């Protein structure tokens, strides 16, 4: 039994366990400043739960582990994430702390006009610790997916992530998405903490831009020099593509041309696509291509979460020769195509 009376009995092993905070998101009914928006639509947001939902939609067995408040927002998160087919049985309720929420504007997050108002300080998830999380459930996965958001929430959360990334026999493959969030502003040691945790993972995702911002590392080679330990390091390079360092090999795959509807959720979708292909034992090039395709599914819909392409469809696209892949252009509705004819591989 754990400190709060939870059972640590053996759990069914799943493909992926994702641990982290999810929040209820309020999306504006129209563009404009938060001060001017009259109403909002409710959704969910959370890097790790986004990955869990996409992987479950892609046919994998997935468990999400977190803490939510004993409130209606917590009910909404558990019901919505569970509705994607994710196992939510290890999500715990905290009667003393609320579920986190946030509001954002409708504009592109990359612009100065974009606003986000977080109400997550003191949230139920920020109280996660090794003593109040079902560690047996967390470790019962082929892959454990974490992000750099969780250790920035509190000292207890940092201790939990350190416990989960510690080298030990029979630990699952540790997937770590750096996911730097400057707004969390935990402390001046944040960059050092992220570096420490990423170095202890087996598979690391990091954006080329965030590596430059957090550690002053310029270019994929510099990132690899700073992260020599992970067996697999994925450096995301925005619309240009991504570079993966896997053991002694280096592979770059350009991103397809995408008619972007909303630039949200792409990073989580990329991680889900790459993890899905990894679980299937696909070659490194195809893992990157599946990451790009799943990201394109998110980029061509308005919200943070999008259904991934049907596996057969994605496999056919991932198998294109380099010339055809370079001509590929994906727009809204592309994942709905039942048959992907040659003429649909369009030049931009």
Segments of 128-227 assigned E as strands: 141-147, 173-177, 203-207
Is 112 a residue of the active site? no
Phi/psi at 285 (5° precision): -55, -45
DSSP 8-state symbol, 28: E
291: its two tokens:
């990451």
Pairwise CA distance, residues 130 & 127, whole Å: 10
**Backbone phi, psi, residue 31, to 5°:** -65, 160
* Choice among 87, 268, 286, 304 that is catalytic: 268
Where in the chain does DSSP place strands (E)? 14-19, 23-28, 40-45, 62-65, 67-69, 92-94, 101-104, 116-119, 141-147, 173-177, 203-207, 232-236, 241-246, 249-254, 257-258, 329-330
Pairing between β-strand 62-65 and β-strand 101-104 as defined by DSSP bridges: unpaired
Report CA-CA distances (Å) from 4 to 8, 108, 164: 11, 42, 19
Please state, as a whole number, how many other Cβ atoms lie within 10 Å of the Cβ of residue 202: 17
Give me the active site residues, please.
Answer: 268
């Amino acid at each position: 039994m754990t400190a709060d009376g939870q059972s640590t009995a053996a759990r069914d092993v799943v493909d992926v366990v994702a641990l982290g905070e999810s929040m209820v998101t309020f999306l504006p009914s129209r563009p404009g400043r938060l001060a001017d928006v009259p109403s909002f639509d409710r959704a969910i947001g959370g890097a790790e739960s986004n990955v869990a939902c996409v992987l479950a939609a892609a046919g994998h067995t997935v468990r999400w582990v977190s803490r939510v408040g004993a409130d209606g927002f917590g009910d909404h998160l558990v019901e919505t994430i569970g509705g994607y087919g994710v196992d939510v049985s290890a999500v715990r309720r905290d009667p003393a702390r609320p579920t986190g929420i946030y509001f954002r504007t409708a504009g592109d997050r990359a612009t100065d006009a974009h606003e986000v108002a977080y109400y997550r300080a003191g949230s139920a998830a920020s109280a996660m610790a090794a003593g109040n999380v079902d560690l047996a459930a967390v470790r019962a996965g082929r892959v454990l997916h974490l992000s750099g958001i969780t250790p920035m929430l509190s000292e207890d959360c940092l201790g939990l992530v350190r416990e989960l990334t510690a080298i030990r026999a029979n630990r699952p493959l540790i997937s770590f998405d750096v996911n730097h969030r400057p707004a969390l502003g935990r402390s001046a040691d944040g960059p050092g903490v992220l570096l420490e945790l990423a170095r202890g993972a087996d598979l690391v995702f990091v954006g080329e831009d965030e590596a430059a911002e957090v550690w002053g590392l310029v270019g994929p080679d510099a990132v690899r020099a700073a992260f020599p330990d992970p067996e697999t390091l994925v450096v995301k390079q925005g619309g240009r593509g991504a570079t993966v360092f896997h053991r002694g090999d280096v592979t770059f795959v350009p991103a397809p041309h995408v008619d972007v509807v909303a630039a949200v959720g792409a990073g989580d979708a990329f991680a889900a696509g790459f993890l899905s292909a990894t679980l299937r034992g696909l070659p490194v090039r195809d893992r990157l291509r599946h990451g790009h395709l799943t990201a394109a599914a998110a980029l061509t819909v308005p919200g943070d979460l999008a259904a991934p392409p049907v596996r057969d469809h994605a496999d056919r696209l991932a198998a294109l020769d380099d010339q055809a892949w370079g001509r590929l252009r994906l727009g809204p509705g592309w994942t709905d195509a039942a048959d992907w004819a040659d003429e649909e591989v369009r030049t931009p």
